């Protein structure tokens, strides 16, 4: 257990570094671009990204997860070569498919500009399999330091390039190149980090092994995309590009930190969970620790966004983004719900429950998200989409708790205990700050809010934060020695 703890701490340290840089720098880039560009620019790119994200799910065929999940002693060089060449061939076919359907996508949205944008964005699908095996190797070896350096470098370079393009008048193309450069820049860095080169071999037996596991995870990922992107699809089609731009802007405020945190924490946890996959109690213990850590970080940010978005948005970004404020407030509750059962799909996948993960995502996508968002848009337009997404999120979390109880004997009480400090902070700060805003200027209320969060955390979570701080310090010393 000590070795696992050290691995987690090392991973958490480097993924925390990555989260701070990616979430912080990425958020700054997005906000500066929002200051320069217009809602329609974000909406047009959002329309393209919806279709790319659906097709992107099939790009790796779940082979990366299969290589990580498969026990080390059963992996051969042929498994890696087979995954690499399968990925290259399949991504080429997908790129050709996107090129052929581009006119139909543009006609679906009634946006001719997509004829130029969609093929360029889809270059990321063509390029990403080049680093499929390299990512799997680094993740399986738990080389989180190298992963953090690669991801941060590509994000920083692509972000700076996007800002230069925006400032020099390239408009929507600044957003387009921001997306594809992240993938392109990372590829040579992955090759350098692993020094792995494919050989000219392909095995039918190896393909069956990795694809058998990957098939479930691929379909599950598709369903996950459906639940996560149905709002984009419906808003873009029935409400328009500018409305989708407001929605995308609201997501920048509410989900950027949460998505970055979940992404990097999952990359740490997946190989760690795999290493203890025969001990479900140990897996659940680790899960609850991570849920507690995630909520300590995310809740103060999201509550702050809910309380002060109506003052911050017009003050810093102008009146052009005013229509996004109500969307921001609604989506804050979706994030708060999501954080209560964060990373549970990673836990299920690592324990081999890919079929259950698939069933859960099928129900969530087709029974919760798609109907809720369609009904929301039909009755209340853009605001209805946000309400529908939030309602579907709540229903999904409820369903997840039910099955987590069946598989891991997870009790709802355990979750409440894990997140009790953020919940206390949420209730107290929400009530008192909203009351103060009726009496004094919002800037003083913001100062009060920050002080209140600090006092509550110091009073109720001092031991937990101190323990985490000491563990990170120990991890830092260890990384310096290494």
For the segment 211-251, what is each residue's pLDDT rounded down to a tens digit?
765 566 666 666 777 767 788 889 998 998 999 999 989 98
pLDDT of residue 293: 77
Sign of the dihedral defined by the CA atoms of residues 297, 250, 340, 349, in that order: negative
pTM of the model: 0.75
For 137, counting Cβ atoms within 10 Å of its Cβ (0-12 exposed, 13-18 middle, 19+ buried), the class is buried
Q: Which tokens is 364 given?
A: 């969530």
pLDDT of residue 480: 46
pLDDT of residue 330: 96
Q: Is the pLDDT of residue 366 over 70?
A: yes
pLDDT of residue 476: 43
The span from the CA of 76 to the CA of 206, in Å, is 9
Q: Is the pLDDT of residue 94 over 70?
A: yes
Question: 89 or 25, which is more confident?
Answer: 89
The 3-class SS string of 345-373 reads HHHHHHCCCHHHHHHHHHHHHHHHHHHHH
* Collapsed DSSP state (helix, strand, coil) of residue 3: helix
CA geometry: angle 84, 86, 90, nearest 5 deg: 120
Closest-CA residue to 209 (of 87, 90, 75, 89): 75
Q: Which tokens is 327 given?
A: 């969307």
The stretch 435-440 carries a mean pLDDT of 94
pLDDT single digits (tens) 18-51: 555 665 666 677 778 888 888 899 899 888 888 7
pLDDT of residue 381: 92
pLDDT of residue 138: 85
pLDDT of residue 36: 82
pLDDT of residue 479: 44
Buried b (16+ CB within 10 A) or exposed e, 81-120: bbbbbbbeebbeebbeebeeebeebbeebebebbeebbee
pLDDT of residue 107: 92
Which residues, in sequence order, are CB contacts of 481 under 8 Å at separation 6+? none
The span from the CA of 287 to the CA of 309, in Å, is 32
Q: Please, which pLDDT band fits residue 14 given cuts at 50, 70 and 90?
A: low
| Of the listed ranges 64-73, 140-149, 368-377, 455-464, the one predicted with least confidence | 64-73
pLDDT of residue 412: 87
pLDDT single digits (tens) 331-341: 999 999 988 87
Question: 2 or 48, which is more confident?
Answer: 48
pLDDT of residue 214: 58
């Amino acid at each position: 257990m000590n070795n696992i703890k050290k691995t987690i701490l090392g991973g958490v340290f480097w993924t925390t570094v990555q989260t701070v840089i990616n979430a912080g720098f990425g958020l700054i880039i997005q906000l500066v671009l929002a200051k320069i560009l217009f809602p329609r620019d974000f909406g047009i790119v959002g329309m393209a990204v919806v279709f790319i994200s659906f097709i992107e799910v099939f790009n790796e065929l779940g082979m990366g997860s299969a290589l990580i999940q498969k026990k080390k002693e059963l992996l051969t060089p042929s498994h890696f070569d087979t995954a690499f060449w399968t990925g290259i061939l399949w991504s080429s076919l997908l790129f050709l498919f996107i090129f052929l359907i581009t006119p139909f996508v543009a006609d679906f949205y009634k946006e001719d500009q997509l004829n130029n944008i969609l093929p360029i964005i889809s270059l990321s699908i063509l390029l990403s399999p080049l680093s499929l095996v390299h990512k799997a190797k680094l993740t399986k070896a738990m080389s989180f330091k190298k992963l953090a350096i690669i991801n941060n470098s590509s994000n920083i370079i692509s972000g700076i390039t996007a800002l230069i393009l925006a400032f020099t008048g390239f408009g929507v193309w600044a957003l387009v190149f921001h997306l594809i450069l992240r993938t392109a820049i990372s590829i040579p860095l992955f090759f350098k980090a692993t020094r792995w080169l494919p050989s000219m071999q392909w095995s039918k037996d190896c393909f069956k092994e990795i694809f058998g596991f990957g098939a479930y995870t691929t379909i599950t990922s598709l369903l996950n995309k459906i639940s996560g992107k149905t709002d984009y699809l419906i808003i873009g089609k029935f409400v328009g590009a500018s409305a989708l731009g407001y929605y995308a802007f609201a997501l920048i405020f509410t989900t950027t930190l949460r998505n970055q945190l979940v992404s990097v924490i999952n990359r740490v946890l997946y190989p760690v969970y795999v290493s203890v996959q025969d001990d479900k109690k140990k897996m659940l213990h680790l899960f609850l620790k991570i849920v507690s850590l995630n909520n300590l970080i995310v809740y103060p940010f999201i509550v702050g966004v809910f309380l002060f978005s109506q003052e911050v948005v017009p003050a810093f970004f102008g009146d052009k983004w005013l229509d996004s404020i109500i969307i921001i407030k609604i989506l804050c509750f979706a994030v708060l719900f999501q954080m209560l059962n964060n990373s549970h799909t990673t836990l299920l996948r690592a324990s081999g429950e890919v079929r259950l993960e698939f069933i859960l995502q099928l129900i969530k996508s087709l029974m919760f998200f798609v109907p809720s968002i369609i009904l929301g848009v039909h009755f209340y337009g853009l605001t209805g989409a946000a309400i529908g997404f939030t309602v579907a999120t709540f229903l999904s979390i409820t369903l997840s708790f039910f099955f987590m109880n069946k598989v891991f004997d997870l009790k709802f009480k355990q979750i409440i205990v894990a997140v009790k400090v953020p919940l206390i902070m949420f209730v107290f700060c929400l009530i008192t700050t909203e009351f103060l805003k009726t009496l004094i200027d919002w800037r003083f209320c913001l100062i009060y809010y920050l002080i209140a969060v600090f006092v509550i955390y110091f009073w109720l979570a001092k031991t937990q934060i101190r323990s985490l701080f000491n563990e990170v310090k120990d991890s830092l010393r260890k990384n310096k020695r290494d």
